Chain A
């Protein structure tokens, strides 16, 4: 049985879908069979980030309603033979989700894939509760910014009360990804540090991702930034994917601005 991981956030717009795409591809590049499922019904976006929007024929709602088979709806990525994608429905709304159908879908997927990654709607939206219901673990994405962190805490609270695992007396392990860190602002005390955020949310850290202008370019092209080895965010996602695959990768200190003489000289001419 594979592992089911929900990627969640409190509010929208923190980079949840970007994170799902990059982690999914990263895991697949580690030679693990991985499927990413877009649960953000009515707001299909993961297909764009993965560059697969032209290949979507069937969606996960049609699979859940048994209108089409799973095999027909799964889209294989060209970037890795180990990565598959199941699209959200664009025409329906989040009220179509129901527990029984979701359980069946994720169970079937976990029989075939080592990793089943669910891109959840934001925690304050309907549909969120259903997405996290059968997850084994959750990855919480936040930005170093007050509203994102506060809402994340609420989303974690909902997870802990609605999860089937918790109802069964178990626990859903939660990991934190801090996205869009600006090293300079952290150093000058204008932005919450990862330490501050961990103090407040008290869940283990999975990774820190620097603010990266390349993210826009990556989404413009539909090529997840993890493919760009020169990008700070791409390298951060590579480390996170390795950690999820069980490797011990040291936490890189991306909260210190780049140092070195060349960098200082460059800065002087900015």
Chain B
């Protein structure tokens, strides 16, 4: 009956936090359409010289600095 006097709910906070979190997820995600192609080509190049187990490419955004980090995992017995 006294719900009018209840404190405001937290849905607004949820929406604000989600909007920011998802925006940053989308920026940091592998959102390039050519990512798979690029990955395959990099693997090809490295493979010429050594064994490749896996490759991980990420776009990282930190303030106004954008960087591409490429992590190549080598075969252990190569």
**Taking CB as reference atom, which chain A residue is nearest B21?**
A150
Please name 12 pairs of A and B residues whose Cβ atoms are closer than 8 Å in the assembled complex, sorted by A: A145-B14, A149-B22, A150-B21, A150-B25, A153-B25, A189-B8, A189-B11, A190-B10, A191-B11, A192-B11, A192-B15, A199-B19
Q: Is the CB of B6 within 8 A of A157?
A: no
Q: How far in angstroms is the closest Cβ of chain A from B9?
A: 3
Please tell me the number of chain A residues within 8 Å of chain B, measured between CB atoms: 19
**Residue positions of B touching A, CB distance < 8 A:** 3, 6, 8-12, 14-15, 17-19, 21-22, 25-26, 29-31, 33, 35-36
Q: Which residues of B contact A145 (CB under 8 A)?
A: 14
Q: Name the residue in A154, A191, A193, A196 with the highest tally of chain B Cβ atoms < 10 Å from its Cβ.
A: A196
Overall SS of chain B's interface? helix
Question: How long is the Cα–Cα vector from A193 to B12 in the complex, in angstroms?
Answer: 10
Q: Which residues of B contact A185 (CB under 8 A)?
A: 9
Say whether, besides A157-B29, A189-B9, A199 and B15 are in contact (CB < 8 Å): yes
Question: How long is the Cα–Cα vector from A73 to B18 in the complex, in angstroms?
Answer: 43
**Residue positions of A touching B, CB distance < 8 A:** 145-146, 149-150, 153-154, 157, 161, 185-186, 188-193, 196, 199-200
**Taking CB as reference atom, which chain B residue is nearest A153?**
B22
Q: Is the CB of B18 within 8 A of A150?
A: yes
Q: Is the CB of B31 within 8 A of A157?
A: yes
New A-B pairs, 13, CB < 8 Å, besides A189-B12, A190-B10: A146-B18, A149-B22, A150-B22, A154-B25, A154-B29, A157-B26, A157-B29, A186-B11, A188-B9, A191-B9, A196-B14, A199-B19, A200-B18
Q: Is the CB of B30 within 8 A of A188?
A: no
Question: How long is the Cα–Cα vector from A254 to B45 in the complex, in angstroms?
Answer: 57
Q: Which residues of A contact B26 (CB under 8 A)?
A: 153, 157
Q: How far in angstroms is the closest Cβ of chain B from A176?
A: 14
Q: Which residues of A contact B15 (CB under 8 A)?
A: 192, 196, 199-200
Q: Which residues of A contact B8 (CB under 8 A)?
A: 189
Overall SS of chain A's interface? helix
Cross-chain contact of B35 among A154, A161, A190, A200 (Cβ < 8 A): A161
Q: How far in angstroms is the closest Cβ of chain B from A263?
A: 15
**Taking CB as reference atom, which chain A residue is nearest B15?**
A196
**Taking CB as reference atom, which chain A residue is nearest B3?**
A188
Say whether, besides A154-B25, A192-B11, A196-B11, A149 and B31 are in contact (CB < 8 Å): no
Q: Is the CB of A190 within 8 A of B25?
A: no
**Taking CB as reference atom, which chain A residue is nearest B32?**
A161
Question: How long is the Cα–Cα vector from A153 to B20 in the complex, in angstroms?
Answer: 13
Q: Which residues of B contact A200 (CB under 8 A)?
A: 15, 18-19, 22
Q: Is the CB of B11 within 8 A of A193?
A: yes
Question: How long is the Cα–Cα vector from A200 to B18 in the complex, in angstroms?
Answer: 8
Say whether, besides A157-B29, A161-B30, A161-B35, A146 and B11 are in contact (CB < 8 Å): no
Q: How far in angstroms is the closest Cβ of chain B from A256?
A: 15
Q: How far in angstroms is the closest Cβ of chain A from B24?
A: 10
